[in-house]
Structure 1
Amino acid sequence: MNDESHRPQFPTRIAERHPTREVRIGPLRIGAQHPILIQSMTIADTCDTDAVVSEIRQLHEAGCPLVRVTA
């Protein structure tokens, strides 16, 4: 049996980017010609300030420059 048949298939080309407008969030810029920006959201209860701050710090340390928090 061929092991190749059990491996996941990945696209052989990069998807085309659609034209977008630039959006500024503080010093960050997303859209237009800018590289894709990694962003995440917290999942902790926003009433638990310590947990939210802890999540934000962990995401920042992991290289996430934009963290969204909902109220």
Structure 2
Amino acid sequence: MKAHTSPAGLALFLIVLGLLASFTGLTAAFVTHLHVCRYLIAAGCLVQFAGWVRYAKRSKGGTS
């Protein structure tokens, strides 16, 4: 076993965290009809996007 996590660990964590936040916000917006839940959906999408960008830079070398 490795003593440390792989570099993809943080990227995967961000992707899953963003997905959970988006689904939670979507469910809350559907149930409560509050417009403020849209911010949770947007934040979840941004976190998920950051995770995918981090994963792409790790696996393909990135553009910079």
Scaled by the length of structure 2, what TM-score is found? 0.29
Scaled by the length of structure 1, what TM-score is found? 0.27
Return the structure number with greater relative CO, CA threshold 8 A, min gap 6.
Answer: 2
- Higher CA-based Rg: 1
